Amino acid sequence: MDIINVLTKELNIQQWQAEAVIRLIDEGNTIPFIARYRKEATGALNDEVLRSFDERLRYLRNLEERKTTILSTIEEQGKLTEELRRQIEDAETMVALEDLYRPYKPKRRTRAMIAREKGLAPLANALRLGCADPKKEAEKFVDPEKEIPDIETALSMAEDILAEEISDDADYRKAIRAMTYRSGLLTSKAKEKEPDPQSVYANYYDYSEALKKIPGHRILAINRGEKEKVLTVGIAAPVEDILSYLSDKMQVRRNPSCTPYLEEAISDAYKRLIAPSIETELRSSLTESAEDSAITVFGTNLTQLLMQPPVQGKTVLGWDPAFRTGCKLAVVDPTGKVLDTVVIYPTAPQNRVEESKKTLSRLVDRYQVDLISVGNGTASRESEAVIAEFIRECPRPLQYVIVNEAGASVYSASKLATEEFPDFDVGQRSAASIARRLQDPLAELVKIDPKAIGVGQYQHDMNQTKLGDALSAVVEDCVNRVGVDINTASAALLGYVSGINHTIARNIVSYREEHGAFTSRRELLKVSKLGPKAYEQCAGFLRIRNGKEVLDNTGVHPESYPETKKLLQTLGFTDSDVQTGNTRSIRGKIQSYGASRLAEETGLGEYTLQDILTELEKPGRDPREQLQAPILRSDVLDFKDLKPDMILKGTVRNVIDFGAFVDIGVHQDGLVHISELSDRYVKHPLDVVHVGDVVEVRILSVDEKRKRISLSMKGLN
């Protein structure tokens, strides 16, 4: 197989691009580095295409390795023909390859194997070819000593051989797999005779849907119901069509005397050997496809969440709500330093509201608190009511924000949190995290396992390794897109920077603690285990504010510093201009000078020149600034305040295959079903909304008993 040819066709890229990317990957370059600093080599392929390329390259290389192993195994058996070699070498998927290998794969002792050992292969061959008198032919093989006491046993054992041969035929399996997928149904039934009508699986108690049409979220829901032993799941295949196909292929009608035996062998082959494995394969394939789609949605949601704009320059009070154990508060200054922590009891069963307000007043006055960041978990609504009342009474201008606290408890009990806040209990750590994730969502959320952040669907039911790898790649891309201040970043954040592993990240922090702040990117080479290759990969993504080299606070890579200096000098700019941001006119100067002339004089490639210009226009710019900021509130809505046709502003908290959940300021997020997202047809919710979007919604209905809110965005956005 020509791997480069396959990749160019699948990803719609040029051969030279595929060759360049393979070379760069094999040289040990990371995807973020290739996407950002090797655009000339790849033709500016973005990180999304490069991730797909890398994944497919690994799959195809594994496929080629598997082919080599299989060819060697079959050759050792002395059964490798030129035709079989060609088929194996041309196989494009693991499924097709394993189909070809099936007849030669070592098996546990089967009925067909036992029959062959007893010498019944010639009888099976005679039945296949259509002998005149099957019983007479079978009589030759009757041998009580071989446990073949009669003609019926001989014929039955010959049928076992035929059944296995039919099952092992790669072409038959390929055709049956396609027929089953094209015409089959995924079915589910309730296991219990009287199942719970209120169960989340009630819709699937007697359910069927075409395999080729069933959406991924339903596959994952049915899988979960099966795993929880609520549902029995299977595939209803077009059995008659499949048996008819096999009969035609086996030329059953060629000799009527052999027809009953061949039909029996075909039926046995399909029902005992082919159908169970095809069902397993198809369900596995459907699940894998559903997981891939869910991972894509999860990744897109996670990207939007991580790229939420930071709330900078504000002192924030983090509020981790609770009932019995009290609400934990943490005041965090604009740099993320925790100034104070306290526990108050404004909620049931204590209900010490006035006492809690006094504590709040003291904290707000003492630390000049600007914002309160409230977690959206248990007791959030009750806490929100107290906060809104306090804000109305507070002379200082104050607002609050509801923050998705998913993963805060996971973080607060982690080893990382223990190292960061050794003297805090889990509640104090959680409150600090809730404050910090408002100040800088990316820097705080990287400390949490992406799977625990809660912006996906069925994440606990899918392949955890695949999910973990995909989400880690998303975090890596986000971190490198934003850039990291090396003098303030935690080891957790540094660990996602291109070329830096967790060991090097810890070494960077240790070096910083021992020697003080980094003053130049070159100083990174003094960090233990951070060699020239790691430096090449990470340097452009790390920022140093007020360092020795002004370009160290930009996304310009050190390898391009000489050319960038020449560019600045040619256009009449100084280091001081870059430092003060007095370079906004740079693009206009380039237009009058001539971009192609400038590229030629500086030796910069077209893509690199454009990237450098973007950096110099706004040195140290945070790409998250252009996104929508969170909604700041000063009053509270209650469930009972909601009425149909009310129009409210809300924040998209999660996007799933069938719609989007929107926080409208009450404890329960409302659902905008896919059919209510827009006046036009919507193929997938992500075509319309993303996590963090601020949208207007109309209330369709409110079910206070079931805590459900139905929303619509039609005609509003």
84-117 residue pLDDT tens: 999 999 999 999 999 999 999 988 899 999 999 9
Structure-block tokens of residue 179:
């027929």
317 pLDDT band (50/70/90 cuts)? very high
627 pLDDT band (50/70/90 cuts)? low
681 pLDDT band (50/70/90 cuts)? very high
- Rounded to 5 degrees, φ, ψ at 545 are -85, 140
373, containing H or E segment: strand 371-375
Q: How many CB atoms lie within 10 A of CB 117?
A: 11
626 pLDDT band (50/70/90 cuts)? low
- C-alpha 599/C-alpha 609 separation (Å) is 7
Residue 363, domain CATH: 3.30.420.140
- The answer to whether residue 278 is domain-embedded is no
Task: Name the H helices within 424-521.
Answer: 426-439, 441-445, 464-482, 491-494, 502-515
- The answer to whether residue 161 is domain-embedded is no
Is the pLDDT assigned to residue 620 strictly greater than 80?
no
Averaged pLDDT, 440-451: 90
Please list, residue by residue across 448-470, b when 16 or more beta carbons sit within 10 angstroms of its beta carbon and e when fewer do: bebbbbbbbbbbebbeeeebeeb
User: Domain range for residue 379?
Assistant: 316-448
Beta-ladder partners of 143: 148
Average pLDDT of the residues of the chain: 92
Q: What is the DSSP letter of 633?
A: B
At a CB cut-off of 8 Å and minimum separation 6, what does 12 contact?
A: none
- C-alpha 445/C-alpha 431 separation (Å) is 14
Least confident of 527-531, 547-551, 615-619: 615-619
| 3-class secondary-structure state, position 685 | helix
Could you tell me how far CA 7 lies from the centroid of its own chain?
22
- C-alpha 140/C-alpha 146 separation (Å) is 13
- C-alpha 30/C-alpha 473 separation (Å) is 11
- C-alpha 712/C-alpha 647 separation (Å) is 9
Query: Do 366 and 430 share a domain, yes or no?
Result: yes
Averaged pLDDT, 555-563: 96
Amino acid at position 391, single letter: I
Query: Do 436 and 323 share a domain, yes or no?
Result: yes
Q: How confident is the model at residue 634, as a pLDDT?
A: 64
Q: How confident is the model at residue 159, as a pLDDT?
A: 97
Query: Do 610 and 679 share a domain, yes or no?
Result: no
Domain boundary among 104, 138, 159: 104
Averaged pLDDT, 414-422: 91
Residue 113: is it exposed, middle or buried by C-beta count within 10 angstroms (0-12/13-18/19+)? middle
- The answer to whether residue 559 is domain-embedded is yes
Q: What is the DSSP letter of 538?
A: H
172 contacts 246 by C-beta, under 8 angstroms: yes
Q: How confident is the model at residue 635, as a pLDDT?
A: 67
- Name the pTM for this structure: 0.85
In sign, the C-alpha dihedral spanning 570, 573, 579, 583 is negative
Q: How confident is the model at residue 632, as a pLDDT?
A: 67
- C-alpha 82/C-alpha 78 separation (Å) is 12
154 pLDDT band (50/70/90 cuts)? very high
629 pLDDT band (50/70/90 cuts)? low
- C-alpha 588/C-alpha 575 separation (Å) is 19
Averaged pLDDT, 609-631: 81
Averaged pLDDT, 317-339: 95
Domain boundary among 448, 480, 495: 448
Averaged pLDDT, 110-129: 95
- C-alpha 34/C-alpha 174 separation (Å) is 39
What are the angstrom distances between the C-alpha of 679 and each of 267, 682, 689, 710? 52, 9, 14, 16
- C-alpha 442/C-alpha 306 separation (Å) is 5
Query: Do 620 and 664 share a domain, yes or no?
Result: no
Amino acid at position 367, single letter: Y
Q: How confident is the model at residue 289, as a pLDDT?
A: 94
Averaged pLDDT, 161-188: 97
What are the angstrom distances between the C-alpha of 5 and each of 12, 13, 548? 10, 10, 48
66 pLDDT band (50/70/90 cuts)? very high
- C-alpha 665/C-alpha 401 separation (Å) is 9
- C-alpha 206/C-alpha 637 separation (Å) is 40
Could you tell me how far CA 386 lies from the centroid of its own chain?
38
What spatial distance separates the first Cα and last Cα of the chain, rounded to whole Å? 49
- Rounded to 5 degrees, φ, ψ at 319 are -125, 110
Q: How confident is the model at residue 442, as a pLDDT?
A: 92
Q: How confident is the model at residue 49, as a pLDDT?
A: 96
| 3-class secondary-structure state, position 331 | strand
- Rounded to 5 degrees, φ, ψ at 370 are -100, -35
Averaged pLDDT, 515-531: 97
- The answer to whether residue 672 is domain-embedded is yes
237 pLDDT band (50/70/90 cuts)? very high
Query: Do 595 and 678 share a domain, yes or no?
Result: no
Residue 691, domain CATH: 2.40.50.140
Query: Do 322 and 431 share a domain, yes or no?
Result: yes
Query: Do 64 and 99 share a domain, yes or no?
Result: yes
- The answer to whether residue 437 is domain-embedded is yes
Query: Do 670 and 612 share a domain, yes or no?
Result: no
Least confident of 210-214, 465-469, 515-519: 465-469
491 pLDDT band (50/70/90 cuts)? very high
344 contacts 327 by C-beta, under 8 angstroms: yes
- The answer to whether residue 33 is domain-embedded is yes
- The answer to whether residue 539 is domain-embedded is yes
Structure-block tokens of residue 480:
């490198």
Could you tell me how far CA 446 lies from the centroid of its own chain?
15
Beta-ladder partners of 625: none
Query: Do 343 and 428 share a domain, yes or no?
Result: yes
- The answer to whether residue 520 is domain-embedded is yes
Domain boundary among 104, 120, 146: 104
Amino acid at position 177, single letter: R
Which residue would you say has higher pLDDT here, 453 or 391?
Answer: 391
**For residue range 267-285, what is the model confidence (pLDDT) as tens digits?**
999 999 999 999 999 999 9
Tell me which residue has tokens 């993963």.
407
Residue 567, domain CATH: 1.10.150.310
Query: Do 669 and 613 share a domain, yes or no?
Result: no
What are the angstrom distances between the C-alpha of 375 and each of 34, 152, 430? 38, 74, 9
- C-alpha 57/C-alpha 64 separation (Å) is 11
Query: Do 332 and 436 share a domain, yes or no?
Result: yes
- C-alpha 231/C-alpha 242 separation (Å) is 27
Determine the Cα angle at 311 with ends 309 and 312, to 5°: 115
DSSP string spanning 256-293?
Answer: TTTHHHHHHHHHHIIIIIIHHHHHHHHHHHHHHHHHHH
Which residue would you say has higher pLDDT here, 641 or 673?
Answer: 673
Q: How many CB atoms lie within 10 A of CB 440?
A: 21
- C-alpha 307/C-alpha 482 separation (Å) is 8
Q: How confident is the model at residue 480, as a pLDDT?
A: 96
Domain count for the chain: 4
**For residue range 699-713, what is the model confidence (pLDDT) as tens digits?**
999 988 878 899 999
Query: Do 618 and 645 share a domain, yes or no?
Result: no
Q: What is the DSSP letter of 637?
A: -
Q: What is the DSSP letter of 247?
A: H
648 contacts 665 by C-beta, under 8 angstroms: yes
Least confident of 201-215, 446-460, 546-560: 446-460
Which residue would you say has higher pLDDT here, 651 or 89?
Answer: 89
What percentage of the chain exceeds 70 in pLDDT?
A: 98
Q: How confident is the model at residue 636, as a pLDDT?
A: 62
Please list, residue by residue across 24-44, b when 16 or more beta carbons sit within 10 angstroms of its beta carbon and e when fewer do: bbeeebbbbbbbbbbbebbeb
Averaged pLDDT, 191-200: 89
Averaged pLDDT, 505-521: 96
Determine the Cα angle at 665 with ends 664 and 666, to 5°: 100
194 pLDDT band (50/70/90 cuts)? confident
Structure-block tokens of residue 142:
């009757």
**For residue range 244-263, what is the model confidence (pLDDT) as tens digits?**
999 999 998 888 999 999 99
Averaged pLDDT, 188-207: 92
